[in-house]
Structure 1
């Protein structure tokens, strides 16, 4: 029996019901339905609602998948190739910011290839950092993507890290060029005449913290910018939102040491800093300029709109996922232990201006 696509989809392939021993690929099913592979994969893997896929489209996909035995053949393919076509993703937390942007890129790449993935959020709890990789392996994942999360050398599946900075022989790391990022931000503030810059460092558990601070110190020295210890403070709270930056800036202000700009570890803490400055009767950027890091979705809509270092977070997620697939498939393009470097941009908005001093 041959089933035809809806009228108007002339380019769709005709597809016959597979015979025993043969399987239908996602590409074939997508072509038959005249839909993208990612749309078909999202419906089959339960992601239709999150991506607002129309119910009529969902019904078409599920009916065709059932008609051609797609899901049954996925199981057969797994057995035949000794793979589960499942990937585990470890993140510190899931919020509207860094992790969500990276996950979006991971999802794009994995769903395009018809892979299922699940996410575990460890909140920096040591017992979960140790337990989750073991649980993922016990569920037969083909590989793991670790986002800002340190992994053990003992993990026995391919691993790709996003902002890992803990290089070992078993993983590939996708990392930002932090020297370039620091140069973009500090040169911008220097050109605006800022001499006394306060720095809000990241939490000690973040993989990016030490690498980014080292880059800032190195670039500041080259530019002739003095880093004042009394104007340097570290985020303490594990919360992902603006409150850690709010608390840090309150402490900076309590020291009563003048500064004209703040360079904050991420956009969330920069927004918290702006709130604390406003509560102290200071205006941004008239009195104090503020620079963030990441360029997450809310950076452009904050008040004032945030000047920030843009990490290509979605691209980093995509790179991590495609790199992991290459490791799983043994394509030999990159060996474990390799580092993939991505580059930042600098986005000037309304939170910085010339120094008032």
Structure 2
């Protein structure tokens, strides 16, 4: 019985040739002898290889794939915009777009086959095991907000974004700048952390690892943000400014500070990242690094539609949006006469 799930790698092994040779043979490309081409086609027919996998032109169906570890798209203010951008790119050319969530250890290849997609847009971090399962499907693939060698990737300029946020706090004369990050294994988070450290280095500030905290993965997301801010405020010299790797974490940290009797920005200043809608409505309005979230999804889906999936890491621009949470005037005016609020609180 023909195995419709046979991969190009298995086909290459059965035919005794390279994967590239199999690809050229099935696509009718030059550079092969007729004997080799005939051999590959014969083996493909025997194994029941689905030649639609290597079809050229506009995809028949695109699959938007993400990890369930980020929660539902409905509750994720970042990836929901990425999805909307991808849907916009697919609308005019009439490419159906479906959605699937995955976790490591599942039969990811089987799930993808059941969707009958012939192009994959993967949003956000997925673990290496899941990434290999996706690649073994041998479909045109573009990653968004992630990086993997040999794959087309679309990201915002995370390095510059982290630098802009930290530079802004430095320009406001903050002396003890801290940062809260998610898992550094995530490509975007690691680059934002690198931008944070670079800005401190360029300003001649020594990097103090105590002022950089990572969210505790064992805690619920909101509680992890509160825990991170608590750890910072318990330092012998608490920070007077914080860069949070995303807006949700920044707003949670601000809420915790306000509960502890601190004033924002007078006692402690904040910058977030992403510019989700809630950032502008927050009290105080949150300074943040803005990128075009819909553009990430649009550019990735457009690349799949146009067949532009050669390995590359496209980087979209970012900008700093300054709001009240990082305003420096009040903090500078009162710094000389007011002791640090966190120290007053612990002594009480």
TM-score where L is the length of structure 2: 0.70
The residue that corresponds to 1:163 in the other structure is 145
Change (3 A) 1:108 1:344: same
Does 2:318 align with 1:337? no
3-state SS of 1:127 partner: coil
3-state SS of 1:300 partner: helix
How far the C-alpha of 1:279 sits from its partner, in A, is 1.4
The residue that corresponds to 1:191 in the other structure is 171
- Which structure's residues are more often helix, by fraction? 2
How far the C-alpha of 1:214 sits from its partner, in A, is 2.2
The 1-side partners of 2:59 and 2:173 are apart by 57
Does 2:124 align with 1:142? no
How far the C-alpha of 1:256 sits from its partner, in A, is 4.2
Report if aligned partners of 1:90, 1:120 keep a CA contact under 8 Å in 2.
yes
The residue that corresponds to 1:259 in the other structure is 239
Report if aligned partners of 1:203, 1:238 keep a CA contact under 8 Å in 2.
no
Report if aligned partners of 2:141, 2:309 keep a CA contact under 8 Å in 1.
no
1:310 to 290, 306, 311: 290
How far the C-alpha of 1:346 sits from its partner, in A, is 0.6
TM-score where L is the length of structure 1: 0.69
Unaligned runs of 5+ in 1: 1-79, 328-333
Deviations 1:15-61 (A, max 9, x none): xxxxxxxxxxxxxxxxxxxxxxxxxxxxxxxxxxxxxxxxxxxxxxx
3-state SS of 2:63 partner: strand
Change (3 A) 1:137 1:251: same
The residue that corresponds to 1:248 in the other structure is 228
Report if aligned partners of 1:145, 1:162 keep a CA contact under 8 Å in 2.
yes
1:1-357 equivalent positions in 2, closer than 5 A: 85-92=60-67, 93=71, 94=73, 95-122=75-102, 125-128=103-106, 131-150=107-126, 151-152=131-132, 153-168=135-150, 171-204=151-184, 206-237=186-217, 242-327=222-307, 334-354=308-328, 355-356=331-332, 357=335
- Number of equivalenced pairs: 266
Deviations 1:236-282 (A, max 9, x none): 23889644322211222233432110100100100110111011111
The 2-side partners of 1:345 and 1:282 are apart by 28
Deviations 1:185-223 (A, max 9, x none): 122111110121111011245332222222322232123
Change (3 A) 1:240 1:154: farther
- The alignment yields a C-alpha RMSD, in angstroms, of 2.4
Unaligned runs of 5+ in 2: 1-54, 336-348
Report if aligned partners of 2:119, 2:139 keep a CA contact under 8 Å in 1.
yes
